[in-house]
Amino acid sequence: MITFFGALLLLIAGYAVYSKFVERVFVIDDSNRTPAYTKRDNFDFVPMNWWRGNMIQLLNIAGLGPIYGAVMGALYGPVAFIWIVIGTIFAGAVHDYFSGMLSMRHGGAQYPSIVGRYLGNTVKSLITVVSLVLSVLVAAAFTAGPAQLIAQLTPLSFTVALLIIFGYFLLATLLPINRIIGKIYPLLGGILLFMAVAIGVSLLFQDNPIPNLTLTNLHPQELPIWPLLMVTISCGAISGFHCTQSPIVACTMKRESHGRKIFYGAMVIEGIIALVWAAAGMTFFNGTGGLQEALAQGGPSYVVNEISISLLGTLGGILAILGVIILPITTGDTALRSSRMILTEGLSKFFNMEGKVKVLIVTLSVAAPALFLATIDYTFLWRYVGWTNQVVATVMLWTATMYLLKNKKLHWICGVPALFMTGVVCTYIFYAPEGLHLSYKLSVMIGFSLTAVVLGWYVRQIFIHRHANLAKAANKAA
């Protein structure tokens, strides 16, 4: 239990201290007019209060991610606490902050455009495709689950439930952000927070204590911690999907100083939610072995339902049902909204994308494949989302690193986590079943070798930019 409370305090301290350090490195200026005013269209660009932006960001990036992922990650034991704390403070929250603030600084630019500006057009083209595929898969995954549950609990068929959810998706995507998303997300965010707090408090009164830190891998199947834990717990530590969502809120910021509260703050809140559910998974079923049996019986949704009903009674059952239905939908709708914004921005270089009809056509072009994937057994595709998600996160961290390098700032705050995540994705791709499925030892060797190559590129970039800055200084002096 000491480990759990220590991790909780570290997350809070991370926001209180490290977020301010990151903000100072970025250098904010509230005299700058934000895109919410300079590009105001009362559609995507609408000024909103920071607390509303924080709740929208939280629901955009969270959904069931920090619950399901944390429950699965709890199979590794208390070592999951370490990853949630370190990942959130030094990687995930930094990743989210820079993805949002760079979007704001560049007029509400979408993630691929930011990547292209600092890593080149080749990487931009690749990441545009990857981002759209990731968003469509997320929208599909976070539609099928709620539709299945609605079909089980009501007279509605799965198909009807699916169409109703997608009908809402279209409304949320096509209407101004302050019409639906801006109004209901604060309420739904409150449900998510209440659920986490109630579960956390209830754990303190259970017979089974929350386990303390041990570096021993407690996974029942003895799966390796590196790199699987870092991919299993993505939402709640670091997730590439977040950088596709941050520009949505960046277009609504009233001032630059709100960025720390919105982006860094939402990620810390998500880390706390993941911490609570990881602790619940380890504790409620009396160890990782019991958790594994529960997951085998009905998956993460069964585990969440059992924990909620047992600890919170009827209220817990209602919250569990609301959570499993509503929270994924709040991520799916903004996944389509970000897809529409990315595609619109990309096409605007070739076509005039103004007009409601064109917006509708672009929206349907990303909604159609998501709807199709939600109707089939796409489990084999979903297996690729995990590492794809972390590849996107890694690219965003390198993008922020290049931004800091070019502006002569402390680039290591992004460069170190970027290098760490490079090692994660390189090793995972070679080891995982959906990758090349090589032996663990060989995968680690290849992963670290590729990371060393990237490190060499990073060091070279440092010297290149240092030389360029010295040359500029010399020219000015002359």
The answer as to whether 113 is a domain residue is yes
Annotate 205-264 with three-state secondary structure: CCCCCCCCCCCCCCCCCCCCHHHHHHHHCCCCCCCCHHHHHHHHHHCCCCCCCHHHHHHH
Tell me the pLDDT of the chain averaged across its residues: 90
CA distances from residue 46 to 40, 65, 105, 252 in whole angstroms, order as listed: 6, 27, 16, 5
pLDDT for residue 381: 63
The answer as to whether 350 is a domain residue is yes
Is residue 111 within 8 Å of residue 98, measured between CB atoms? no
Is residue 396 within 8 Å of residue 115, measured between CB atoms? yes
The pLDDT of residue 382 is above 70: no
The pLDDT of residue 478 is above 70: no
d(C-alpha 258, C-alpha 249), whole Å: 11
pLDDT band at 380 (very low <50, low <70, confident <90, very high): low
The residue with tokens 């560049």 is: 106
pLDDT band at 118 (very low <50, low <70, confident <90, very high): very high
The answer as to whether 400 is a domain residue is no
pLDDT band at 208 (very low <50, low <70, confident <90, very high): confident
pLDDT for residue 460: 95
The residue ranking higher by pLDDT, 362 or 397, is 397
Task: Provide mean pLDDT across the span 295-309.
Answer: 86
Least confidently predicted of 285-294, 317-326, 344-353: 317-326
The pLDDT of residue 59 is above 90: no
pLDDT band at 477 (very low <50, low <70, confident <90, very high): low
Least confidently predicted of 17-26, 356-365, 407-416: 356-365
pTM summary value: 0.94
Is residue 104 within 8 Å of residue 259, measured between CB atoms? yes
Encode pLDDT of 442-474 as tens digits. 999 999 999 999 999 999 999 998 887 777 777
pLDDT for residue 127: 93
The answer as to whether 222 is a domain residue is yes
The answer as to whether 81 is a domain residue is yes
The residue with tokens 């739904």 is: 188
CATH number at residue 100: 1.20.1740.10
Task: State both tokens at 80.
Answer: 């999951």
Encode pLDDT of 140-161 as tens digits. 877 887 887 788 778 889 899 9
The answer as to whether 189 is a domain residue is yes
| Structural domain of 306 | 2-386
The pLDDT of residue 350 is above 80: no
The residue ranking higher by pLDDT, 246 or 355, is 246
Annotate the chain with three-state secondary structure: CHHHHHHHHHHHHHHHHHHHHHHHHHCCCCCCCCHHHHCCCCCCCCCCCHHHHHHHHHHHHCCCHHHHHHHHHHHHCCHHHHHHHHHHHHHHHHHHHHHHHHHHHCCCCCHHHHHHHHHCHHHHHHHHHHHHHHHHHHHHHHHHHHHHHHHHHCCCCHHHHHHHHHHHHHHHHHCCCCCCHHHHHHHHHHHHHHHHHHHHHHHCCCCCCCCCCCCCCCCCCCCCHHHHHHHHCCCCCCCCHHHHHHHHHHCCCCCCCHHHHHHHHHHHHHHHHHHHHHHHHHHHCCCHHHHHHHHHHHHHHHHHHHHHHHHHHHHHHHHHHHHHHHHHHHHHHHHHHHHHHHHHHHHCCCCCCCCHHHHHHHHHHHHHHHHHHHCCCCHHHHCCHHHHHHHHHHHHHHHHHHHHHHCCCCCHHHHHHHHHHHHHHHHHHHHCCCCCCCCHHHHHHHHHHHHHHHHHHHHHHHHHHHHHHHHHHHHHHC
Encode pLDDT of 401-448 as tens digits. 999 999 999 999 999 999 999 999 999 999 998 889 999 999 999 999
pLDDT for residue 433: 86
Encode pLDDT of 28-54 as tens digits. 999 999 999 999 999 999 999 999 999
pLDDT band at 182 (very low <50, low <70, confident <90, very high): confident
pLDDT for residue 471: 73
pLDDT for residue 90: 98
The answer as to whether 95 is a domain residue is yes
Residue 314 CB burial class (10 angstroms; 0-12, 13-18, ≥19)? exposed
pLDDT for residue 169: 86
Which phi and psi angles does 400 have, rounded to 5°?
Answer: -65, -35
Domain total in the chain: 1
Which phi-psi region, left, alpha or beta, contains residue 115 (left: φ > 0; alpha: ψ -120 to 50)? alpha
pLDDT for residue 309: 86
The answer as to whether 316 is a domain residue is yes
